[in-house]
Amino acid sequence: MRIERQTGAIALAAVDDLLQAVALQQDHQPLPDHLWLDLRDGGGPGFVAVTAHDDGALIGYAQGSRGNGSTAAAVVLAPNAESPELAEALLAELLAGVADNGGGTVDWWVAEPSQLHETAAAEAGLHRGRDLLQMARALPVGTPIAIETRSFRPGIDDDDLVDVNNRAFADHHEQGGWTVATLRRRMAEPWFDPDGLRIHDRDGRLAGFCWTKLHAERRPVEGEIYVIAVDPDFHGRGLGRQLTLAGLDSIARRDVVVGMLYVDPANTAAVHLYRSLGFAVRRRDRAYTVELAPTAS
Ligand SMILES: CC(C)(COP(=O)(O)OP(=O)(O)OC[C@H]1O[C@@H](n2cnc3c(N)ncnc32)[C@H](O)[C@@H]1OP(=O)(O)O)[C@@H](O)C(=O)NCCC(=O)NCCS
């Protein structure tokens, strides 16, 4: 087996084949959205990629992408090559790469963690960090919406949306610290639909938004509340509830009968809101975390 840190251009097609094979087996995409975009765009600052080959075949892939004060990491193992040893070997090389890039916090995100992940994390020196809940409910909701929303206007609303996003998610590792370029990378994705990004204006400014994303590859097709944010100036006035309802309505109008979302269980406002709208937990993801010192030069 050969574990290698990739320093030049990545063989995207081979990695994509591996990701698709794992997605078929697990029924979800093994790379979180922001990591996939970073890979597809050739890797921004702080990007680290590690491959594992056996007999010339790609059997494992690990990636780190720098976010808002931390590096988010993912490890993908080919369906017939799953072992804690392979995960740990990929992780160890990935962590060395992050340390070489200046170190800092690393969050290794795992969907439905098992003993394999616990063992690999412990061996690589990571400890349990944040959890992330995936919640879902059947659509339509059937509750009337009490506010007006409109479609996002590409090229006109970009700055205002990023501003509200960053104010609402000021301390968030993955969702905070966006630039207009971060937004536009998502707008360039095939699933992007400006009508599915519902905006509410209040007092002449963009006060909040609910961005939806259809997962057309799932059976049945599912609609995600991809990002929801209310400007802190407008918190606690019912806008979060109404914007969520508007997002779910926009999903249901596209003939989708399942709504889903991800939420940090520590985000009490959001968890309370989603539970009261009938969402129930159907999966738990976990970050394994470590604080790395920069490699001594
Ligand atoms: C989550 C968020 C969208 C809620 O928006 P909001 O406009 O403040 O929420 P609402 O006024 O509609 O309140 C919704 C419910 O949450 C409750 N709530 C609001 N803030 C709360 C808090 N800090 N703790 C507990 N409950 C809270 C409200 O009481 C209300 O419940 P109720 O109708 O049963 O009384 C907003 O806090 C936000 O933008 N947060 C940052 C971004 C974020 O975390 N997004 C969600 C990621 S999954």
Copy the structure tokens of residue 210: 């609910």
Q: Along the 297 residues of the chain, how does pLDDT read in single tens digits? A: 999 999 878 889 999 999 999 998 887 889 998 999 999 999 999 999 999 999 999 999 999 999 888 999 999 999 999 999 999 999 999 999 999 999 999 999 999 999 999 999 999 999 999 999 999 999 999 999 999 999 999 999 999 999 999 999 998 878 899 999 999 999 999 999 999 999 999 999 999 999 999 998 788 999 999 999 999 999 999 999 999 999 999 999 999 999 999 999 999 999 999 999 999 999 999 999 999 999 987
Give the number of other Cβ atoms within 10 Å of residue 15's Cβ: 21
Q: Alpha carbon of 189 to those of 74, 80, 169, 296: distances in Å?
A: 21, 30, 22, 39
Tell me, what's the pLDDT at 236?
94
Tell how far the Cα of 31 is from the centroid of ligand 1, in angstroms: 28
Tell me, what's the pLDDT at 174?
81
Pocket perturbation via mutation, ligand 1, pick of 169, 231, 235 by most ligand atoms within 8 A of CB: 235
Question: Using CA atoms, how far apart are residues 268 and 275, in angstroms rounded to an integer?
Answer: 10
Residue identified by tokens 């369906």 is 79
Tell me, what's the pLDDT at 218?
83
Question: Using CA atoms, how far apart are residues 223 and 232, in angstroms rounded to an integer?
Answer: 26
Tell me, what's the pLDDT at 173?
78
- State CA 144 to chain mean position distance: 30
Question: Using CA atoms, how far apart are residues 36 and 145, in angstroms rounded to an integer?
Answer: 34
Residue 176 CB less than 6 A away from ligand 1: no
Domains and CATH numbers, the chain: 2-129 (3.40.630.30), 140-256 (3.40.630.30)
70-77/104-111 β-pairing? parallel
Tell how far the Cα of 280 is from the centroid of ligand 1, in angstroms: 17
Q: Which residues pair with 109 in a beta bridge?
A: 287
Tell me, what's the pLDDT at 190?
92
Tell how far the Cα of 265 is from the centroid of ligand 1, in angstroms: 13
- Please say whether the beta carbons of 150 and 201 come within 8 A: yes
- For helices 180-187 and 158-168, give the axis angle rounded to 10 degrees: 110
197-202/150-151 β-pairing? antiparallel
Pocket perturbation via mutation, ligand 1, pick of 134, 241, 244, 245 by most ligand atoms within 8 A of CB: 241
